[in-house]
Each structure stands twice: as C-alpha cells, then as structure tokens.
Chain A
Amino acid sequence: MNVSYFPGCTLKNKARDLDRYARQCAQVLGITLEEVENWQCCGGVFTTAKDEVATKLSSVRLLQAAKAKEQPLVTVCSACHNVVKQTNHAMQIDGEFAAKVNRYMADDGEYDGSTQVYHYLELLRDVVGYDTLKDKVTNPLKGKKIAAYYGCLLLRPSSVMSMDDPENPTIMEDMIRALGATPVVYANRNECCGGYVSVESPALAKKNSLAVVEDAKAAGADMIITACPLCRYNLVKNGADIPVVYFTELLAEALGLKEDANE
C-alpha cells in the first residue's frame, strides 16, 4: 500500500530517529511512505480562532497533495498529527472557514476535507493490524516493561482525533503487547509534559515531566515510549533516569531493524 507521508520539521532535526525508524519499519510492513513534495511546516499549533487562516494553509496544502494522489496522509509526530487532523476536520464541518481557505488555494486546487488522515499508530492498528505486526516481529521484546506516554496532544480533542479513548487509551499498550513486551499502565500517561511552558517556566515543565517519569517508574516501567518530539525533549531534559525513546524505535527493535543499540 502506498500512502502520502508527512514527516514535519522536527523529524528532520531533533527527532530524526522518529522519522528514520518509521520509514524502515513501514517498508518491512508492506507500506510505502511517499514523502509529500515541497511540504512546509504543519503550522505548529492549531489555533481555534476562526479568522486565523494563514497558519492553517500549509496543512491544507498537504491534505490537498495527498488527495491529488488519492492516498491517505500519514503523520507520525503527535503535534503535526494534531494540527493536520484538526485542520482537516475544520475543512469538513466549517463551511465559512473552508470557503476562506479555498480563496488561497488557487495554485493547488480547492480542497474539500476528503483526505483520510492517519497517525502512524493508527496505520499499524487499523491498516497493518496488530496480529500481522505480531507475525512480523523477529526479535520479541520479552520481559521488557514499557510505559506508553501519550501526552496531551495525541488523543485530544477525542471527538476530532477519534483515535482512542483519551482517558483509558489502549492503542500503544496493544502495540507493546504485539511486540512481545509488557505494557505498564500508569495514571500520568495522558497528562501534559509541560509542552512549550518549558520556554517560559522551566520549573513548571520540570515538575510536570518528572511527575510522568516518577509515576511510570513507580508502576514498574523500565522504558518510556512516546510519539511526540516535544514530550521526549522535556522528559529527557528534565532528568528522566530511564530511557525515553520514540515508539518507532521500539518497533524497529522488535522487527530486527535496529542496527546497534548504542549508535
């Protein structure tokens, strides 16, 4: 299956691992990620201000590019995914907003909200299927206790993301299980890491990040996985003393694609 793929800016810099492993794993799982040409930043944050159109245009261009190829659009960064899916939703339900946006779309053609947007995790669960994934695992991660960290952006707002229950999610835990490891469920797995507050109030971000790490450790985790570059940045920077890695890295390890654990 061929899909349009949007890595996003961070995955070209700080979060190269998230991107690299996502591509390698997709290949093994029979999915071809076709990177969208000439993509721009997703817009960074989805602002709910109705007259704020400019920051959403890049996302709409992306969605339009995937539509032109009649492919679903796959993202992997939590923040990008959030912006792209919310923009797509706004294009579907808000006629006034859609009309305004389409006035800027002369070069790319009008967009109607019809592109299917997947987070990479959804692709694994709904397209590949966890049973198939389990069969492809060559290096089962037996005995590893892994805490999935969702953060705040991946599942919320749940009516738009429509990916999983925001208070009691299972999508990453089920993946961990498929990879042969043991998921650790802990209360702070869907709380905010501190996000951009780390710029203005590092102490507050530290408090939030450490609450997540401590909670995961107390529940017995020896590793945390996440889909969000900012979450990983905050957790690591604020002194996480267990490994915090991207979920794609764990996936690569189980699929036998990870070259060297310490590279």
Chain B
Amino acid sequence: MQRIGVFVCWCGSNIAGTVDVKAVAEALKAEPGVVFSTDYQYMCSQAGQDMIKESVREHKLTGIVICSCSPRMHEATFRKTAAAAGLNPYMVEIANIREQCSWVHKEMPIGTEKAIILGKAAVAKVNLNTPLTPGESPVTKRALVIGGGIAGIQTALDIADAGFPVDIVEKKPTIGGKMAQLDKTFPTLDCAACILTPKMVDVAQHEKIRIFSYSEVSEVKGFVGNFDVTIKKHARYVKEDVCTGCGACVEKCPMKKVPNEFNLGMDNRPAIYIPFAQAVPKVATIDPNACNMLKNGKCGLCARVCTAGAIDYKQQDEYIQEKYGAIVVATGFNPISMDKFDEFAYNQSKDVITSLEFERLTNAAGPTAGKLLRPSDGKHPHTIVFVQCVGSRCDSCAQKGKEYCSKICCMYTAKHAMLTRDKYPDTEVYVFYIDVRTPGKSFDEFYRRAVEEYDVHYIKGMVGKVTPQGDKLKVQASDLLSNKQLHIDADLVVLAAAIEPDKSARPLATMLTASMDTNDFFTEAHPKLRPVESPTAGVFLSGTCQGPKDIPETVSQAGAAASKVIGLLAKDKLKGNPCVAHSNEQMCNGCSSCERVCPYGAITYEDKEFRMPDRTTAIRRVAAVNPAVCQGCGACTVACPSGAMDLRGFMNEQIMAEVDAICK
C-alpha cells in the first residue's frame, strides 16, 4: 500500500479564485492511500518545495499528488523535488486543476467539484505507480547537416568550430543554395556572394567538415545519438579528387544548349558544367541527360581535353554508410510554380519574370552581366511593375497558392525597386501590394527610403491581369486607396512568387519520422520555447525548411540549431525517457498492428523461443520495443488487440483506475 501525500496549490488567485483549495485538500484526505493532504499559496516556490520534502520525510510518503498547473509547466520541477527527498521521481503525479479547471470555470462550486475529481484520479493512478529508471545510450559524436545553403553552412561551421565532425549532404553539385543566386542583400545592400563565398570556402577548408555534394540521404535508421544513415552520392562522371576545376572541359563541350538552372533557364550551359565561378567543391559535373557520350557514346571531347584525367564516363552512384549522433534538416525553399497564375501571363511573355529571375538579371555574374535588360529583346525596360503576394496569403484560392505570408517578399521587392531607381533613374517603378510588412531591424526604414528617397510608386491593390501586346505588357490593376482602375503599359513585370519548402523535404520527413505541417514545413517541438528542435529526438531544424525566413533570421536559427546539436554531442551518454512502451511477449501474437501505427519506427519483430505448457519449445514472432527510439506516445497500446503492449508510467490499469475514480 502506498503512503500518498496530496499538495493543493493556490497559484495565487489563479486556482484559488475559482476552486476552494481547502475543500479539495480536505476531500482528498479520505481517498485510499492518502496519509497527508495540505494546501499552499505557491507550491512551486522554494518554500513550497521545502514543505513537500519535509512532508515526505515526516510522513514517510511513497507517492505524491500535486494539484496545480499543467504537467507541461512544472512536472519536471516536482520530479526533482521528489528526487531530492529520496523518492523515485516517477512517483509524482500532477492533477491539472488550473488550465483544465480553474481557468475554464467561472463558479466556485463547479470548479471545486471538478478539482476534487481530478485529484481523485491522480491519487488512483499513484496507487499503481512503480519506480522507473531511465535507460542510457551512447552518443556518436558526429553530426549530419542535410542541405548546403546558408542555413546548412552556418550550422555546420558552428558545430565544427565546437570541435565535432560534421558532414553536409547537398543534392546540387555545389553548396551555396539560394543565397548564392542573389545579387544584393537587404537591408544593408552588401553583395550576397561577397558575404557567402568566404563561408563556403571556410566549409571546404574546415578539417572537421566533409561535403557530400550531388548527394542525397537515401535511408535513415536508428535514434537520437545513434543514427545510421545511407548517403547516395550520384555519379557526376568526374573524379572529384582529381578535377582541378580549370574549366577546359566546360569550354570545349559541344553540347551547349542545356538550360542553366543556376540562372533559372535564362541562358544555357554545356552538358559538362561548373554551376558558378565560386562553386564549392569547384569540380565539373556531367549532366547525363544532355551528354552525347553518356547518351549514345559519341563524343568524349571532355576526356580528351582534361589534362588531369578526371573524366570517368563509367562512374556509378555510390552509397556511403555513416553513423551520426544528431541530424540537422536545412532543406530550404523554392518559389512556387507560376503555372496556375496565368492572369499574369508568366507563360506567355518572357518579360514577365519572378523575383528570383530578377535577381539573376541584376547580378554581375548573371545572364546579362548585371545589366537590367528585358529577356525578350535585350532592351532596357523603362516601366517596371512589381506584383507582391503572388500566391501568398491566398485564402480564397487555397488550391492555387499558399495561405501563409512568404515574409521575405516585401523586403526584397523594396530592394529591387530601390536598386532599379538608383541605377536607372529614367525607369518608373510601380509596386502593387496588399500590405507592406517590414518589421525587423532597419527594415521599415529601408522600405521608407524606397518610397521617399527613390520615388518608387507604391500602390495598395492587386494586379488583375497582364496582357502582352506588341512589345508592351498591359497591366490592369486597382488602386484601392483612390478607388480607381489603373492601366499601365509596362516593359517588365516582376512577380513576387510565394515560397514553399523544397520537394525533397516530404520524403525526408518520412525517413526521419519528423512531423510536418499541412504546408510541408517541418514542425518544431514547441512553437515558442523549442523552435529549432523537431519533436523527434535528435533531429534539428535550420532555416526555411521550418518556415519562411530571411537571411538574418536563417543565420540566427542555424546558430541556435548548432548550439542544440553541440549540447547533445557534448554528452557521452543519453538518458532516455523511461515512460516507454513494452510488450508482454507471452501475450503478443505477432500481428504487426503496433508496428504499423508506430510513428517512430521503434517496434521490430523477432523470433523467440518459448517454452510451451507441455514442456516442448516453440518459436514465435513477437514484438520488441527499442526504448531509446520510443517516444511514449502510446499509439501501440491502443492498437494492440491482445493487450500485450503497455506504456510504462501510463499502464492500461493505471488509466482504467483514473477513469474509475472520475466516474465513481
């Protein structure tokens, strides 16, 4: 029989305002097992905790019930208190009489009655509690960063600087991501390449960092501290360690008509290519869909001009196995397709472009060497219309765009508008917006400069239709503030396309058993208090894979994710959560129901020898739970038809006892 102490907290007036705490303490005294019951103003305070410890000693308590706020708030606090008093911390139960009682009820009698019932349930549960001890597992001191954009680069550098080895897996031939494609960065207008490429070089030269470029994660097994990852390194048909990046092959390649993805298809590249001058690693890659040698064996020019002998047409995809203690997801974003927004004539006119294409058009390393020229005829545009929120904040047309705000567009559009007016003062620039959202350090000042110093015409209202006519783009729009229909003959229309998570994120989330929201952004463990951790232990989030972000925010989050990884890798052993599922092998019939519902892949099956009643032995297939992987969600206990699965700390009989206490 347990000796249970009940401690009812007032929480100032938070609880005591609608719950008669003295009556609760009094009522619970009569419950089976309760030997002591009291109330106090702030149970979480030092004095309150001391009172609990004192009572444990005085009354030789074996179990504790705290009637207070949600266990999310102070369960850990009171478990520590119990441990300090010499009790097993898992002998503490919290009855939530604040969030689930005093805060939702207005009348004292109702609040009090419910608090008593909740207290009774907790007492009934503690009566069946058993001491639990968390298990330990070792930590592999190496981190994996998936994605080599600015988020992945920053995270990798920070982890490596702390002394832990890091591998970056990047699916493109070079690291750098979207930031490498940008021209200038707001709000200080420093050139993106100038601040990014030194970091890329740091990554390449860091003795603790390995880069797997042109590679993807193909399988993830294991759990926090012990991930087994398979990396698929695509054949680039060039020996990475031999290629010097001289570019002779790129110049000589006869197949020069492949749309250049780095310039978003606005110019062409050869079949063998180096994405851009500062690429890391700076090695050539052969595009197997374009190379004549790989398609039909007719060419081989690059192999002949390569003095280093780096070309290898027979190269195969390679699979690399590695162990990691932590995984950081930094898979980034892409602008959405403009196919469903044909009212802006994106597919009909070359002079309707997205903002990312605009970046390339103004970038000195872009297809026009930085001169702002129309893609159709190479002429200088004199009237430019920017359309914001194309596909963002699209509530009435959810199947077409995204409901969320893409966050970065207001600032980059202000940047584009300002830079255009600065370089080409003879150009009229219009920006159509729903709202201008520029919070952030020095952000609103930046936008005001575009309006006040650079005379950019900001018009509240949306563009309804863009019609190519001759060499003009007829723009129909509404000006909501003056309630007028506008018709503008533009030379160039720039669409601020909404951003969405990279397509590789969804399959990756499945592999990692990391959760995502309906927009395929990774979900954080807590939206405010644990923003860089995934709910899956050992998986961390960096950059836009978690939600739209600009560069300053991405870099901060990348650093935060790195510090969480360092905190994990610095430990030699990890203490697990003892509230995990376990299977009663005698009752398990091997049906796989639990394995199918387990979101963490914690359940496996093994064939075990059992002694039968007639003294023979038989081999049966039974479920086994890996306690280091199990997160204690309890899905398996509900799915198990034979009642073999049970969750420590939340045993079926404990839950039933709580229900009985409530229904009594």
Chain A residues proximal to chain B, CB less than 8 Å: 159, 165, 167-168, 185-188, 191, 211, 214-215, 218
Contacts and interface: CB of A to CB of B under 8 A. Distances in A.
Contact of B467 (A159, A167, A215): A215
Contact of B345 (A165, A187, A191, A211): A187
A261 B340 CA distance: 38
B613 interface: no
Contacts of B465: 187, 191
B348 A186 contact: yes
The 9 closest A-B CB pairs, nearest first, are A168-B342, A187-B467, A167-B342, A167-B343, A187-B345, A168-B339, A165-B340, A187-B348, A187-B468
Given A168-B347, A186-B348, A187-B345, A215 B340 contact: no
Contacts of A186: 348
A218 B470 contact: yes
Contacts of B345: 187
Contacts of A214: 469
A215 B474 CA distance: 11
A170 B91 CA distance: 67
A168 B469 contact: no
Contacts of A167: 340-343
Contacts of B560: none
Contacts of B624: none
A186 B399 CA distance: 24
Contacts of B341: 167-168
A215 B342 contact: no
A159 B399 CA distance: 9
A157 to B, nearest CB: 11
A186 B342 CA distance: 10
A214 B399 CA distance: 32
Interface string B397-421: 0010000000000000000000000
B497 interface: no
Nearest to B467: A187
Give the most central of A186, A187, A191: most B CB within 10 Å. Answer: A187
Contacts of A165: 339-340, 342
A79 B466 CA distance: 26
B340 A187 contact: no
A235 B20 CA distance: 79
B466 A187 contact: yes
Nearest to B346: A168
A185 B399 CA distance: 23
30 contacts: A159-B399, A165-B339, A165-B340, A165-B342, A167-B340, A167-B341, A167-B342, A167-B343, A168-B339, A168-B340, A168-B341, A168-B342, A168-B347, A185-B347, A185-B348, A186-B348, A187-B345, A187-B348, A187-B465, A187-B466, A187-B467, A187-B468, A188-B467, A191-B465, A211-B467, A214-B469, A215-B467, A215-B469, A218-B469, A218-B470
Contacts of B469: 214-215, 218
A67 B114 CA distance: 56
Interface string B452-479: 0000000000000111111000000000
Given A187-B345, A191-B465, 17 more contacts: A159-B399, A167-B340, A167-B343, A168-B339, A168-B341, A168-B342, A185-B347, A185-B348, A186-B348, A187-B465, A187-B467, A187-B468, A188-B467, A211-B467, A214-B469, A218-B469, A218-B470
A235 B223 CA distance: 68
A165 B348 CA distance: 16
Nearest to B476: A191
Contacts of B348: 185-187
Nearest to B345: A187
Contacts of A211: 467
Contacts of B347: 168, 185
A65 B108 CA distance: 63
A165 B341 CA distance: 10
Contacts of A215: 467, 469
A168 B348 CA distance: 10
A218 B349 CA distance: 13
A229 to B, nearest CB: 25
Nearest to B400: A167
Contacts of B470: 218
**B339, B465, B466, B467 — which one has the most chain A CB atoms within 10 A of its CB?**
B467
Nearest to B343: A167
A13 to B, nearest CB: 33
A191 B339 CA distance: 18
A25 to B, nearest CB: 29
Contacts of A185: 347-348
A185 B339 CA distance: 14
A85 to B, nearest CB: 18
Contacts of A218: 469-470
A143 B329 CA distance: 53
Nearest to B474: A187
